[in-house]
Structure 1
Amino acid sequence: MVPETPSAAEVVSLDVFRSLMSEFPTGVAVVTSLDHDGEPRGMTCSALCSVTGIPPTLLVCLRRESSTLNAVIRCGRFAVNFLHADAQHVAELFGSPAKTKRFDLVDWSMGRCGPHIAEHAHAIADCRVASTGDCGSHVVVFGEVSDVTLHRGRVPLLYGRRRYNVWLEQAARQTALCPRDASPSD
């Protein structure tokens, strides 16, 4: 049996939905690509996740009206720069609606599929656009990962409860030594 589509009265408000999602901490990344003139484009993204390991695929959700989405679709390739704990200023820079030349304010180099901001990343995934999906104000972009760069020893930047935070290494070590009984899929 297929559930009915909820009416507008059955859908929570945007504020309530944002409050819900703020309770789910996530990593912070900057998605980058090149526009039709070869200029770098990028935006902060916390709506991303792995999809499957075979083929290695992740998804990112990008605002429909963003120049970064246009560049990703046109180019067919993009990079996901997973930011480290000392890169909050980069997350804010690429998350700002200001029309500044963001790439003039950070060191970057061209990676296999898009600009790398390696100085500010603990990991980078180079991706080829496999498919896209329409989802209201955003477009879901599925990317097959063709290359990975890891910078071991850097702590990930996190975002939750409407603020930035960092991975607590001590808590991570304790969890590894004494795992909980229940797994996330339970």
Structure 2
Amino acid sequence: MKTFLKFILLALIFSGCNQNAKQKIENPSKKDTLTKTEIAAPAVESKKEKNQIEDLDQLFAIDIVDPKSENVFKKYGIEFTGNCYACDLAILSLTEKQFKMTNVCNDKVTKTYEIIEFSGSDNLIQFKTKQNNFVLTKIDKAPVYELKITGDTTELKDLRISKFYTTSKMLDKFEEHDCGDFQG
């Protein structure tokens, strides 16, 4: 009888040790797998969004110069009136948290808005401030963005918003008027 009880006691101890060992081995791998999956997916999204936002750190106004042209760099050109004559155009700057407009001729004339809602995809960026809703639609790979605004569209002195914008990297590829040739 003593031998039988010792055998049962050893079996219980042995089976208890095996279960703990299995749990110790299985639990870390489950946690690692879950942790790696949870961390990896958002990291990829944040890199994509970060690159997209970095491209929008400065957007410059362009205008349609030759609507019939197939070449995007000839169809659109740097906006002449706001750069040379009125000097009232706004350069746009966008981050996930704020939207800033700066006068093209005087960087001390600015207006900054806090973004309360932001969403973006490859060709469409939407953001909201307390006053307005903004939609930047990429209408050409160059890139050319069309800006639509809804809400309070009170015009700001010396911060006129254009309909079309491009990034600072691509600005010099578009048709440009020489302001020195302007006789106004």
TM (normalized to structure 1)?
Answer: 0.27
TM (normalized to structure 2)?
Answer: 0.27
Looking at CA atoms only, which structure, 1 or 2, has the larger radius of gyration?
2
Considering fraction of residues, name the structure with more helix: 2
Considering fraction of residues, name the structure with more strand: 1
Query: Comparing both chains, which one has the higher relative contact order based on Cα–Cα distances under 8 Å and sequence gaps of 6 or more?
Result: 1
